[in-house]
Every structure is written in C-alpha cells, then in structure tokens.
Amino acid sequence: MKIYKNNYIQKIGLIALCSGLFVLPACKKSFLDVDPQAQQPAVTFWKTQDDATKAVNSIYGILRSNDNTGFSAIAIESVGGDDAEKGSDPNDASYYNNYDDFSVSSTEGQLQGFWNGQYKNINLCNQVLDNIPAISMDANLKARYLAEAKFVRAYSYFRLVRAYGDVPLRLNVPKDASEFNLPRTPKAQVWAAIEKDLNEAAAVLPQTYPSVDLGRATKGAALALHAKVAMYQQKWADVLSYTNTVMTMGYDLFPNYEQSFRLNNENNIESIFEIQCEINASIPGSATSQYSQIQGVRGTVAGYGLNVPTAALNAAYEAGDVRRDATIIYRGETTPQGDAIPVSVPNPMYSQKPYVPFNLINTSFNQGAQQNVRVIRFADVLLMNAEAANEQGNTTLAKTSLNRVRARARGGVAGVLPDVTTSDKDALRQAIWKERFVELAMEYDRYFDVIRQGRAATVFGPKGWKANKNEVWPIPSNEIDKSAGTLTQNPGY
C-alpha cells in the first residue's frame, strides 16, 4: 500500500515536472512581453487631435524652465548689460561676476544651462512639427499648432544665435545617431531659418484668441519678434513694416507702468508675448519658474536678490520718470503693495519687474513662481518702430512712436519728460537708444541691444568687454568635448 502511494506521488511529480518544463516555453512570448508602466509608449502617441494639443501645450510649459527664465538666462542675457549686476551678497553666486566683467571661461555652468534650455525647447517644437502633420485632425487647428511651434522654435534660435553666434541648426528630430552631431551653422543661415519660421507663423497665427487660450503665440507676437530679429540684422525696412503692422492690431500701452508688471495685470493690452507661469498646487511639478525667486529682495521672504539694477541705470532716468521707481525697489522703501523693505537688506536696489508681493509668497513653491515673464511688450514694438523709422529717414514717425512711450512715463504729471523734438537722425537714434535703456531695463534686453547697436566697446568696455570676442559667449566646453571636435570654439575663448 505504501509502495503504491509512493508511486502515485512520484507519478504526480513526473507530470508536474513535465508540465513545468513544457508549459513555460509555450507561454514565453506573452510572459516576457510586458508593457511599460505608467508611461505611454510613443507609438501610441501622435494619433489624435488630443495628442497634438498636449504636445503643443508642452512647448509653452517648458518656457518656464530655469534654463529659460532663471539663473542661466540672467547670466547670458542680463548681467553683462549696464542695467544689471550680480547683486546679492558678494560671495553668493560669484560666477555672475565673470559674466559682468567678461572673464567667463567655456567651462562655466550657466553657458551649458542656457544652451541646453534652448535646445530642449527646439526639440519639443521639432517633435510637433515633424509629427503633427500626419495626424488626422481639424485642419485649421493643425495649421495653427504648427505655427505656434514655429514661433517658439524661432524664439529659441533667436536667443541662441545672439548668445553664441553660429550654432547647430536642427530643424527636425534626428532620425538616428548619424544626425546627432551637427556642426555649427553660420549665423546668417540661422537668422534665415528664424525668419522663415516667423513668416510662416505670422501667416497662420490668429490676432487674438478666445480667453481659454490666452497666452498662446499670436500673429502680433510673431510679427513683433520678427521685427526684433530684423532689427538685430539691421533690416530696417522689415522692422518698420512689421512694427507698423503690429501697431494696427489693437495693442496699446498699459496706462500705469508699475501696475503693468503685477500679477493681476498679466496679459494686458500691452502684452505681446508672455511666458505663462502659475502656482497650481493641484498640478505637481508645474510651478517651475525661478524668475521671481532669483531676483526677489534678498533678506526678505522674496528670494535671492540676484540680478539687481546698477547705479548707472538709477542715474539714467530723467527727473520725474515714473519708470525708475517701478523698475527699482530701494532698500528701506515701502512698495506700492505695502511691503516694507528693511534697511538691513544687503543691496541698495533690487529689480521690481519680477516682484511678487510678500503676502502672495508661498513657501511650498519657488517664491513668486506665479509671475509671468514679459517677453515682448508693445513699448518695445513702438521703440523698434521709432528706431527703424529714423534709420529709414522718417523722423516724424520715429518721434511719434518714441514720444508715445515717453508720454506714459510721465505718469500724468505735466512738465516732466518733455517730448523729443530733434530731427537730427543721430541725435534721435541716441534718444531712442536711451529710451530703450530705461523703458526695457531689467527685461533681459539691454546687453544684446547694445551689442547690436555696435557700441558695446564704448558702453561695456570699461568693465572689460572686448571687441571681436565678447560679441558672443563661449560655446560650453562640455558640448565641444561631446562633439569630439565637430563643434569649434568662438574666437578668443
């Protein structure tokens, strides 16, 4: 009986063994084919209009990133100028001094950050531009989406070309490794590509959006950016034509200069393009902007106090110019929103444009992460119009546009900031340049504006700027290392 039982068990064992050996291979295919978890496979993307919408959303979302608006942008686009300097405590983020005195070397980290940031934007745009055309969806919406991507791509290349000169021009997602390592494209071709994108964007983008889409790139934004792009190339006829068009599109100066930069006046009538930032506690990871935090008044709850106005900027304002107090937060002052700035803060001045009132600071997020970044304002368009008109010999138009900007700066007080009346082309040019300085101060515009004007050696020379070198920053050395020599360094670095 026992023997029988053992045999019985052994037989069961044999069956189990055989099934174990044979069942496994039979099910191997499905068993080893597991789906990615919590991640949508890309092969299921780019199928629907909804996919297209999300992808286009992403190109706006990424513009808030630190590389686009924070530490790197300040290094590359701001502290080199004479309106801004490092600020904060002397020993804090002292690398900014290398951008201020032009001693920066190619290994400095912010060079890489800015470079990365722009190419990340460009990749997302290229994904949109390569993949949305094949999606079956509303044709008008598709065209608009493509135009929006072209705008953001053009904006990113504009920032790259003025920072680094010749840069790799990537207009498609690389198909394979053979397309990874692109050499630098001469900047003329990069400018051409930017203009092509902006032409195509302006042809399609709507002048306005319904309120649910407020913040998307408009036709006005494409034209205004195009005007700026043309201005950097001294294509004055184009600048004039694009700005003239924008001036017919319903934009106007916001009456109160100081108020135009506050949270409740975001996307106002003067705004042509803003990077949209919010604190939304229910969307984790979305409050990415450090724009306001980095520049917030040091020694208060607001932030780090970097990128502060210079004495030169403070002195540049004419008597009675309301823009001075709206651009500069002084040590010891009380802001219009009622925040008392202690006299003990380390710097005499801080930038007011990114300022978020202290009662709106939320410690669970980057301070002031809700503050939009004003990229192009109508005032800039007016001043570009003035400059182009002057260069084209139309001093009347030039003065009209210029004085429109000055008029607001009086803050309703008569007798200050008199209209510019000169018809001398050179004098008028100087007046327009001066106006750009004070109107657009601390808006990441001044540094490259002066280089573009061809007088950087005069204006920045005293702090170390050298012609034939400092027109562009060095290419980040890590990137040159990775390219195995395909990328070359800018002269002098």
Partner 1 sequence: MKRIFTRISVLAVFCLLAINVAFAQNITVKGRVSDGGDKTTIPSVSVLVKGTQNGTQTDASGMYSISAPANAILVFTYLGYTTQEVPVNNRTTLNVELASSSQQLDQVVVVGYGTQRKVDVTGSVATVKGEEISKQASVNPISALQGKVAGVSITNTGAPGSSPQITIRGTGTIYGNTGVLYVVDGVWYDDVSFLNPSDIENLSILKDASSQSIYGIRAANGVVLITTKKGKTGEPVITYNGSIGFKAVTNQVEMANATEYATIINELSASNGANPLFANPSSFGTGTNWYNQAFRNALQTNHQVSVNGGTEKTTYNFSLGYTNEDGIVKTQNYKRYTAKLSNDFQVLKPLKIGYTVSGTAINTNDINDGIFRQLYTAGPVVPVYYADGSYGDANDFSLGGGNNFNPQVTLDYFNQKTKNYRFNGNVYAELTVAKNFTFRTSAGGDFGQKEIIGYTPLYAATQGQRTTQSTLKIEREETRNWILENTLTYKNTFGDHNLTVLAGTTAQRRKLYNISSTAFDVPYSSDGDLYLSLGTAATRTVVDRGSLSTSASYFGRINYSYKDRYLLNATIRRDGASQFFGGGDLWGNFPAVGAGWVISSEEFMKEQKVVNYLKLKGSWGKVGNAGVPVNPTTLTVSQGGDLVAFFNGVGYTGANINSLVPSFLNWERTTGTDIGIEAKFLDNRLTIETGIYNKKTEQAIFEIPILSSIGTASGSLIGNQADFQNRGFEFLATYADKSKSGFSYSISGNIGINNNKVLSVVTGLNPIYAGGAGIANGALSTRTIQGGAIGEFFGYKVAGIFQTAAEITGSAQPSAKPGDFKYVDQNGDKIIDGKDRVVLGNPNPKFSYGLNTSFGYKNFDLSLDIQGVAGVDVYNANIAYRFGNENFSKDFYDNRWHGAGTSTTYPSAAVGSTINAAPNSFYVEDGSYIRVRNVQLGYALPSLLTSKWKMQRVRVFVDAQNAINIFGYKGFTPEIGGSPTNAGIDASVYPLSATYRFGLQVTF
If one asks whether residue 108 binds partner 1 (CB under 8 A), the answer comes out as: yes
283 to 312: interface string for partner 1, x by CB under 8 A? xxxxxx---------xxxx--x--------
Q: Between residues 59 and 398, which has the closer beta carbon with respect to partner 1?
A: 59
Contact present, 199 and 233 (Cβ < 8 Å): no
Site membership for partner 1, residue 337 (CB under 8 A): no
Residues 434-493 that bind partner 1 (CB under 8 A): 476-484
Whichever of 118 and 453 has its CB closer to partner 1, that residue is 118
Distance CA 115, CA 125 (A): 16
Minimum separation from the CB atom of position 337 to partner 1 (A)? 17
Binding mask 39-58 for partner 1 (x = CB under 8 A): xxxxx-x-----x-xxxxxx
Helix 109-131 vs helix 139-164: angle between axes, to the nearest 10 degrees?
160
Beta carbon nearer to partner 1, 32 or 414? 32
- Quote the CA–CA distance of 158 and 194 in Å, as a whole number: 7
Give the number of residues written for the chain: 493
- In angstroms, give the least distance from the CB of 45 to partner 1: 5
91 is a contact residue toward partner 1 (CB under 8 A): yes
Q: Which of 111-119, 196-204, 316-324, 331-339 is the region at the interface with partner 1 (rule: CB under 8 A)?
A: 111-119
Cβ nearer to partner 1, comparing 39 with 248: 39
Is residue 272 involved in binding partner 1 (CB under 8 A)?
Answer: no
CA distance 113 to 82: 23
Residues whose CB falls within 8 Å of the CB of residue 36, separated by 6 or more in sequence, listed in order = none
Q: Which two tokens stand for residue 455?
A: 């007088």
Does the footprint of partner 1 cover residue 343 (CB under 8 A)?
A: no
Identified binder of partner 1 from the candidate list 24, 188, 413, 467, rule CB under 8 A:
24
Tell me, rounded to whole angstroms, the distance of Cα 332 from its chain centroid: 31
Positions 186 through 245 that interact with partner 1 (CB under 8 A): 211-216
Does the protein bind partner 1 through residue 26 (CB under 8 A)?
Answer: no
Tell me the residue ranges of DSSP E strands in 152-305: 271-275
Choose between 367 and 403: whose C-beta lies nearer to partner 1. Answer: 367
The secondary element (H helix, E strand) that includes residue 72 is helix 71-77
Does 267 contact partner 1 by CB under 8 A? yes
The whole-angstrom separation of Cα 278 and Cα 405 is 29
> Judged by CB under 8 A, does residue 80 bind partner 1?
no
Within 119-138, the residues that bind partner 1 by CB under 8 A are 119-124, 126-128
Determine, following the binding rule CB under 8 A, whether residue 94 of this chain makes contact with partner 1.
yes
What distances in angstroms separate CA 150 from CA 1, 4, 129, 137, 309, one per listed residue?
A: 86, 82, 8, 19, 34
Q: C-alpha distances in angstroms, 194 versus 149, 154, 197, 198, 480?
A: 12, 5, 5, 6, 24
Q: How far is the CB of 265 from partner 1 (least distance, A)?
A: 13
